[in-house]
Amino acid sequence: MRLNSAAFLLTATVSTSRSCICFPLQVLTTRTLSPQHWAASSSSFALPGFQRGQQQVLRRLQQKFSTNFKSPAVCASSNGLSATQGSRRNYFTPASSSSSVLLARRATAATAATSAHCRNNLLIRRMSNSSNTATDATKKEVALLQFQVSSSKIDNQQKVKELIDTTIQNNPNVQLIVLPEIWNGPYATAAFPEYAEILPPLGYIYNDHDESAINDSDGVTATMEQNCPSAKILFDAAKKHNIYIVGGSISEKVQSDDGTTIYNTCLCISPEGKLVAKHRKVHLFDIDVKGGITFKESDTLTAGDTMSVFDTGSDLFGMVGVGICYDIRFPEYALLLTQKYACNILIYPGAFNLTTGPAHWELLQRARAVDCQCFVLTASPARTEPPPPDAPDSVTKYPHYSAWGHSSIVNPWGEVVGTCDEKESVVIAPLDMEEVKNMRQGIPTFGQKRNDLYKLVDADQKA
């Protein structure tokens, strides 16, 4: 779980039945803590990396609450499933921010039934601040889906369908769901053409009762089920649950007289089933880090040439800008999204690796959030282990890619208000657009640009 440097208050309603016990605790820390870092002992904490003063504070707090104290590591249900394995929720309210409340829940499709059982046994109360008058029914939440991607497109599609259904069923206030980059197949340049689909055009409106045909460049028409089954799942889910879906990305196939072009494409779908944004990755991931990783998306992919935004309405999140993974490294793109379109949220489905992830993943999210004074959301695939040497050819056909994971939500102040580790997870948090407004009014950098010395030029306006 993640605790920022401000004081956080973690409070849960205690259910003494079925051995589910949580506790109140207020701490100061800048560390990222996993459940195993907490000692089950009632007399001392075992927290690595803490300074002596912080340890003393924690010991005093523990003594204060020692009567009913249990560590999160032993918070479990009678069915043997640890709350940290299937259904634990963590709520954190920063003392410096009245509306940034973290809900981070780890869940896997494989243990959905067991997780639901554990959720029924573990009663947790969301913390609220007296200055935050929003009721549970009016909170506007977002959800990031982090799951393992396999070489089976059908399995990946079924997992996404079930995960979206489960997320909305258990969290009815979620208004927007974000999927990870390249979620329907392996993240490998050679795999992109095989898993590519012919995607609908921007502005396409899906009707699940009278499905419109998708035309390819050769004039051949086919249904969405035939041309883009992965996209169809997203359209069906958006309409079924009346939510916005930022569909991570899948490889897109575009056929022309010059041959076949492959893009890394994100579909953004409205609750009405309309394709409100279609982002083709602008900056291709071509890197060669000595002693780290070499990857060249341009071997098979073509870069997009448009900026992508969509409007959720002033009653929801307002304007939302979209990039994909490597796009986050380019502040000019993010600044133009916020300065030209006044985006309140920037969303980056991504799949950082084990070289760049630990060093730059969170850093870049916080940088873009502070630069643009907005929320930044990222969704990554969960990490997978390399297959064994005797794995079937269908599994070892393409090079294995280890994703960093750690899907996150960052607020306009640059605080990580929702995150997870590398495992399959769902990260959920309510977003208050007043935070964006207050940040931009309190530190009005947008109105303090020195255009006489430098200027961010929109290529469309320049042309």
Residue at 362: amino acid letter: E
Q: Which residue out of 75, 118, 153, 181 is catalytically annotated?
A: 181
Beta strands in 36-107 (DSSP E): 89-94, 102-105
Cα separation, 97 vs 51, whole angstroms = 25
Q: Tell me the C-alpha to C-alpha distance, in Å, between residue 399 and each of 151, 187, 292, 387, 425.
A: 11, 8, 15, 10, 24
- Residues 334, 328: contact at Cβ < 8 Å? yes
Q: Which residue out of 75, 118, 325, 343 is catalytically annotated?
A: 325
Give yes or no: 181 in active site: yes
SS (H, E, C) 250-278: EEEEEEECCEEEEEEEEEEECCCCEEEEE
Short-list 16, 9, 1, 12, CA closest to 125 = 12
Q: Which residue out of 139, 232, 281, 372 is catalytically annotated?
A: 281
Q: Look at the alpha carbons of 235, 241, 242, 246 in this order and tell me if their dihedral is positive or negative.
A: negative
Check residue 403 and report its DSSP letter: B
Short-list 361, 380, 371, 356, CA closest to 286 = 356
Cα separation, 144 vs 246, whole angstroms = 10
Residue 71 CB: number of other CB atoms within 10 A?
Answer: 20
| Active-site residue set | 181, 281, 325
